Amino acid sequence: MQPKYRSLTGMAIAIVSMPVILGLLACLPVPLGDPEKSRIDPDLSGMWIWNGESIVLMEPFDKRSWLVTMANLINDVDECGSDEGSDEDDEEDDYYTSLVNRIERLGASCFTADAVSLFKAWRVRLGGEWFMTWEVKGHYDDEYGFASEFWYGFRIDKSGSDEFSLWMIDGESYEGFDDLDKLELLKDMDPPYDPRALKKARRAVERVIARNVDDEELYDDSPWVFHRVEPEHHDMFESFLDDVVGIE
């Protein structure tokens, strides 16, 4: 499904620094669920490491939604050398431990956080499973203002209090979204979309997802894995975020 948006290429340029650029073409033309009727899951709140690459804050904005802050964590190769892991790191079977090992081996001063991205996130239950929508925030368009042009949808898989995964919905290629009449209504509109048309299109997409929650083709090939930052590492990762947002 190719969204009608003004220009996905143009949007890609505008947010090229975002970690989620890897999934830009998997975005959805509608959000999932209604953020005004959602409830957050407290188990998902906190500071997380995503795939050993980014620091993610899932901050409750209210009882219904989160403010998500994501920052890339990069190694200054010029100053400190490559961040390729030692043999010991290579033996680790999780992203989090390997990342902590590299930071402790090279020193925290050899890493910086950049490319901060902001999202509003909320949940909805479809087909007996929990899903999450991420809406890009912190951007402004001269023509459309703060209106969103696309959203990211995920299925939530919780594997414990300290780890969860998000399976991104493939809004670009999944055949179940083809030829939905309600989506066609959006193709002739510019953001902000008519609320009634957006609601009808959202419900049409939600019905497809609810019927196909177990279809592997609905999702991207691999999940986003989140590991909760352990208490002994809070200061380490907080310092990276403090630097990137300008807190002394």
Q: In 81-105, which positions are buried (b, 16+ CB within 10 angstroms) versus exposed (e)?
A: eebeeeeebeeeeebbbbbbbbbee
Q: What pLDDT is stored for residue 28 in this prediction? A: 92
Structural domains in the chain (count): 1
Does the residue 1 lie in any domain?
no
12 falls within a domain: yes
Cα gap 53→116, rounded to integer Å: 13
Q: Which domain covers residue 47, as residue numbers?
A: 8-245
Structural domain includes residue 53: yes
Residue 210: other Cβ atoms inside 10 A = 14
Domain membership of residue 3 (yes or no) is: no
User: How many Cβ atoms are within 10 Å of 120's Cβ, its own excluded?
Assistant: 20
Residues contacting 141, CB < 8 A, separation 6+: 147, 191
3-state DSSP assignment of residue 247:
coil
- Model's pTM, two decimal places? 0.85
Of 5, 48, 46, nearest to 25 by C-alpha is 5
What is the Cα–Cα distance from 34 to 159, expressed in whole angstroms? 25
Q: Please report the pLDDT score of residue 160 as a whole number.
A: 85
pLDDT in tens, the chain (248 residues): 344 433 333 333 334 344 444 455 578 999 999 999 999 999 999 999 998 889 999 999 999 999 999 999 888 766 676 655 554 554 446 889 999 998 998 888 888 888 789 999 999 999 999 999 999 998 888 888 898 989 999 999 999 889 999 999 998 889 999 888 888 888 888 888 999 999 999 999 999 999 999 999 999 999 999 999 999 999 999 988 887 765 55
- The answer to whether residue 215 is domain-embedded is yes
